[in-house]
A and B are shown apart, each in its own frame.
Chain A
Amino acid sequence: MAPQSGTEKPMFAYSSITCQAKSGWSWTLVGLRLLAFLATAAAAVVMLLNKQTKTLVIATVGTTPVKLTLTAKFHHTPAFVFFVVANGLASIHNLLMLMVDLFGSKVDYKGLRFAMIAILDMLNVTLVSGGANAALFMAELGKNGNSHARWDKICDKFGRFCHRGGGALIASFAALALMLVISVISIVKVLKSSK
């Protein structure tokens, strides 16, 4: 980083910021973003394809059994729909930020690059946290039921649905932890470059 001599004071501040924008690239941040992208995408996809069908025979008329088919799908519950949407949006954001980190080190918009990254990271952390927690408490209700409200548990009948949902939840919480770390790093970058 050669010192920019022979320029006025405001220009020096501006050019030092763009110098920092070029060299503020690190492997750890790229690795973290890649992991977060994979985790949110996995959580969204696993919950999206979560389906279980159960066929019960409830009566026998003559020789033909009367069958009842029960299904459990993710879109029966608004909490899981919100979970899929939130994780999908967050994975798109992570992919975009990954591309910007890898290929867009010259892209800048009026010196606001770090600020926009920090703000978008913070918004997506809150989005993923909302989706993951709503699905977590809905899954807890499905697993334990609620005796006070006379709501039966459903996980003993639809075990595979519950297990897959649990896997998606674990992936989403791992993604939440990673995205929180990434957001803290982005904010620290903004605060350092505004000294």
Chain B
Amino acid sequence: MVKARGIITTLLRLLALGATLSATVVMVTSHDSADVLNLKFSAKYTNSPTFKYYVIAEAIASGYSLIVLFLSSKSLVWRLIVILDVVIAMLLTSSISAALAIAQIGKKGNSHAGWLPICGQVPKFCDHVTGALVAGFVAAIVYLVLNLYSLHAVLSPLFPVKP
């Protein structure tokens, strides 16, 4: 049973590593430019501090997943890993929700504040960012499942023998 638990955790971490890594890479390589009324309108991920925070947070999460993957043994840091998993899940959900908020404005605009949507002018950038956000969302869900599984698996020696 211990082996099965270890395999599932490793698989989930591998999945999370892939998702966070792809989110980082896709966001970093997203750029587009358009010429609107003789003005060069270029869109890169560095134009918005939210997307910069998104890249940094996903990079931290992928580095953490990589390190923990190579740490899988019955060592004493396992309790610290469970706690750090909660912190990293919090980081991932914060970065994806902030990026989603800003991307929603970019796509639909905000009529009350007088902000026009920009996806009409730079569609390639918008598609790239959508892909990165999907990967980040998957990573956040996978980390939540990982946390639930760790907290549940820790309990299985606890279930008492029914009298």
Measured CB to CB, the residues of A under 8 A from B are: 10-11, 13-14, 17, 71-72, 76-79, 82, 110-112, 115, 118-119, 122-123, 125-127, 129-138, 140-142, 146, 148-152, 154, 176, 180, 183-184, 187-188, 190-191, 193-194
Contact = CB atoms under 8 A, between A and B. Distances in A.
A194 B155 contact: yes
Contacts, number: 128
Interface in B36-81: 42-43, 47-50, 53, 79
A135 to B, nearest CB: 8
A83 to B, nearest CB: 10
B82 A146 contact: no
B113 A149 contact: no
A17 B158 contact: yes
A194 B94 contact: no
Please tell me the size bucket of the interface on B.
Answer: 35 or more
B90 A154 contact: no
Given A115-B155, A190-B154, A133 B47 contact: no
Contacts of A14: 160-161
Contact of A151 (B94, B115, B160): B115
B118 interface: yes
